[in-house]
Amino acid sequence: MTGITLAGTQVTLESRADESLTATLYRAGYAMRIACKRGGCGLCRVHVDQGQISYNAHVCESVLTPEEREQGITLACRAVPTSDVTISVPEEGRLRCVAPAFTRYALREQSGAGKGAAQAGGRDWVID
Ligand code: FES
């Protein structure tokens, strides 16, 4: 299992084997802007700040420019982390926590941090 840390938050989610970034986010009670879910529209762009990803299926080559790929932009619907990653979701991606009760089961245990809180979309969610 790899960890997906949401940049600017204390949230690190456990990703299951071969699970895309969006699949982990949705399983953990988050939602973001997506459409095709198959690497064809580019709505699910995120920036991989740290770590490595690979694509688990074909993505349309023309959706991301070579420069965007070099900068770490990836398509979250097809990207599978191959190491612990930190991602930034652009504001237009509208990442938000819609089901905080699910988040507690997906949070990675962190020394001292516990499974107590999540933050997304500028809101804090306290999970008991
Ligand atoms: S949702 Fe369309 S490329 Fe990811």
pLDDT tens digit at each of 128 positions of the chain: 899 999 999 899 999 999 999 999 999 999 999 999 999 999 999 999 999 999 989 999 999 999 999 999 999 999 999 999 999 999 999 999 999 888 877 888 654 444 455 554 455 544 43
Cα(49) to ligand 1 centroid in Å equals 19
Ligand 1, atom 3, lies closest to the CA of 39
Query: Looking at residue 35, which CATH number applies to its domain?
Result: 3.10.20.30
The SS3 call for residue 126 is strand
Q: What domain range is 86 assigned to?
A: 2-126
The phi, psi pair for 67, rounded to 5°, reads -65, -40
Number of domains in the chain: 1
Question: Among 24, 25, 33, 34, which residue has the most ligand 1 atoms within 8 Å of its CB, making it the best to mutate?
Answer: 34
Full-model pTM: 0.85
35 close to ligand 1 (CB < 6 Angstrom)? yes
